[in-house]
């Protein structure tokens, strides 16, 4: 397998921050947010070498890697993998718009 560089889109960075901030505020501590961030980043590192491990989505060339209750949407390009969105699956699915 080819090792590809991971690129985080501005939206995916904001999504990640929003999710981690939500849990920090809800729990009153950063412990769970740190654990969740570590698990998500570990999953993203797996994509560098195994880009096909995610499930194909309804959108052309976009795949979905699920880590716990979080979906990581990404697109495989020639030498990069672009993380396009991070989504907490417990949210209303009608609000999900990957192509924003």
Identify the helix (H) or strand (E) that includes residue 31.
helix 31-49
Q: What is the pLDDT of residues 16-54, one digit of tens each?
A: 999 999 999 999 999 999 999 999 999 999 998 888 899
Share of the chain above pLDDT 70, in %: 92
Q: Where are the domains of the chain?
A: 5-90
Superfamily of domain covering 5-90: RelE-like (3.30.2310.20)
57: pLDDT strictly greater than 70: yes
Q: Would you give the DSSP letter of residue 83?
A: E
Give the chain's mean pLDDT: 89
pLDDT at 99: 58
Residue of 53 and 100 predicted with greater confidence: 53
């Amino acid at each position: 397998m080819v090792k590809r560089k991971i690129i985080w889109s501005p939206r995916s960075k904001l999504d990640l921050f929003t999710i981690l901030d939500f849990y920090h505020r809800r729990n009153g501590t950063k412990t769970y947010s740190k654990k969740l961030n570590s698990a998500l980043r570990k999953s993203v590192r797996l994509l560098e070498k195994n880009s096909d491990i995610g499930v194909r989505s309804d959108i052309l060339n976009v795949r979905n890697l699920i880590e716990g209750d979080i979906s990581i949407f990404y697109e495989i390009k020639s030498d990069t993998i672009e993380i396009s969105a991070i989504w907490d699956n417990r949210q209303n699915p009608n609000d999900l718009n990957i192509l924003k």
